[in-house]
């Protein structure tokens, strides 16, 4: 049985990735930080169909000690790790005049530092299984996102790490990134009809992306044996305009 570990896996895009791999009978390790009940409910629903194949691991990626305890838990749950998906992310604006050390620590922790140290901690098992790492970034950062300088820097760093580690960890481990466009409204934000239509108008394929679009790309990359160091934009062509 192959094993996938997804950070921020209790809800939204992370949950969709997990559900797709559960259908394919992978062992599932769901990471969460605050969404304990969603993570437990997801694991229970998978276990109801697939036996004891789903596990949950808690931790705050902003905290180095938590990252190390996540690594220990994942390594002790499964003899093998085939796929690490660095999906968890914190996303909020930081206009330059308001930026504090705390903003820096939070946005860099979840989007860049945490993923890097998870890769370090799970490297041996990924090497042994000739596995894959998939980092989830953001299409918008290539054009610059006003008021999101720390978030953009963190995601750009994650793309840079993707390319560097693709070389460093080859030939055993493949390292790629998926760069989503406009998929879901940010958590706790509801766009007006007008805002939504404006976004859709800017997308050549004339729709928002869905969780499924990202999950299917993760699935494709996980099953591909000759792609590494790539950043795959899943954005309906928005980055072209
Ligand atoms: N949604 C979009 O349209 C869009 C667009 C571009 C890129 N993306 C990228 O796609 C990925 C998934 O997007 P999403 O919208 O589904 O993500 P999301 O809902 O914003 O966040 C996913 C999870 O990240 C976890 N998380 C946040 N801070 C954390 C921390 N300090 N420590 C541990 N976990 C933390 C949270 O887990 P808990 O709930 O358990 O705390 C949260 O549920 C992200 O990497 C995002 O940047 C999304």
User: What's the CA dihedral at 222, 226, 230, 231 to 10 degrees?
Assistant: -40
Instruction: Tell me if 236 CB under 6 Å of ligand 1.
Output: no
Query: What integer is the mean pLDDT of 121-138?
Result: 98
Instruction: Tell me if 138 CB under 6 Å of ligand 1.
Output: yes
Protein residue with its CA nearest to atom 36 in ligand 1 = 8
Looking at the CA of residue 11, tell me the nearest atom of ligand 1: 43
Confidence (pLDDT) at 7: 99
Residue pLDDT, tens place only, 33-69: 999 999 999 999 999 999 999 999 999 999 999 999 9
**What's the DSSP call for residue 185?**
P
- 3.40.50.720, 3.30.565.10, 3.30.413.10, 3.40.710.10: CATH of 3-240: 3.40.50.720
Average pLDDT, the chain: 97
Q: Are 177 and 137 in contact (CB under 8 A)?
A: yes
**Closest C-alpha to 60, from 41, 78, 37, 35:** 35
Q: Which one is predicted more confidently, 21 or 143?
A: 21
Looking at the CA of residue 86, tell me the nearest atom of ligand 1: 45
Q: Is residue 186 scored above 90 in pLDDT?
A: no
| Catalytic sites, residue numbers | 151
Confidence (pLDDT) at 165: 98
**Closest C-alpha to 81, from 57, 51, 62:** 57
Residue spans per domain, the chain: 3-240
Confidence (pLDDT) at 13: 98
Q: Is residue 188 scored above 90 in pLDDT?
A: no
Instruction: Tell me if 91 CB under 6 Å of ligand 1.
Output: yes
Instruction: Tell me if 218 CB under 6 Å of ligand 1.
Output: no
Residue pLDDT, tens place only, 192-222: 999 999 999 999 999 999 999 999 999 999 9
Centre of ligand 1 from the C-alpha of residue 88, in Å: 4
Centre of ligand 1 from the C-alpha of residue 110, in Å: 9
- 137: number of Cβ within 10 Å: 25
Confidence (pLDDT) at 189: 87
């Amino acid at each position: 049985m192959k094993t996938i570990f997804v950070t921020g896996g209790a809800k939204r895009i992370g949950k969709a990735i997990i559900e797709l791999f559960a259908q394919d009978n992978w062992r599932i390790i769901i990471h969460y930080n605050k969404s304990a009940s969603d993570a437990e409910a997801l694991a229970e629903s998978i276990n109801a169909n697939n036996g004891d194949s789903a596990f949950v691991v808690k931790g705050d990626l902003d905290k180095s000690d938590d990252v190390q305890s996540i690594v220990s838990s994942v390594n002790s749950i499964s003899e093998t790790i085939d796929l690490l998906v660095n999906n968890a992310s914190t996303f909020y604006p930081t206009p330059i005049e308001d930026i504090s050390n705390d903003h820096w620590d939070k946005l860099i922790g979840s989007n860049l530092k945490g993923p890097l140290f998870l890769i370090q901690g799970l490297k041996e098992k990924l090497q042994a299984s000739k596995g894959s790492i998939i980092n989830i970034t953001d299409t918008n950062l290539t054009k610059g996102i006003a008021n999101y300088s720390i978030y953009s820097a963190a995601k750009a760093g994650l793309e840079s790490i993707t390319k560097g580690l693709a070389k460093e960890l080859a030939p055993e481990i493949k390292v790629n990134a998926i760069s989503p466009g406009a998929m879901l409204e940010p958590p706790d934000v509801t766009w007006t009809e007008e805002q939504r239509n404006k976004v859709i108008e800017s997308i050549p394929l004339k729709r928002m992306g869905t969780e499924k679009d990202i999950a299917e790309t993760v699935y494709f990359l996980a099953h591909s044996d000759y792609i590494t160091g790539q950043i795959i934009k899943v954005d309906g062509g928005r980055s072209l305009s």
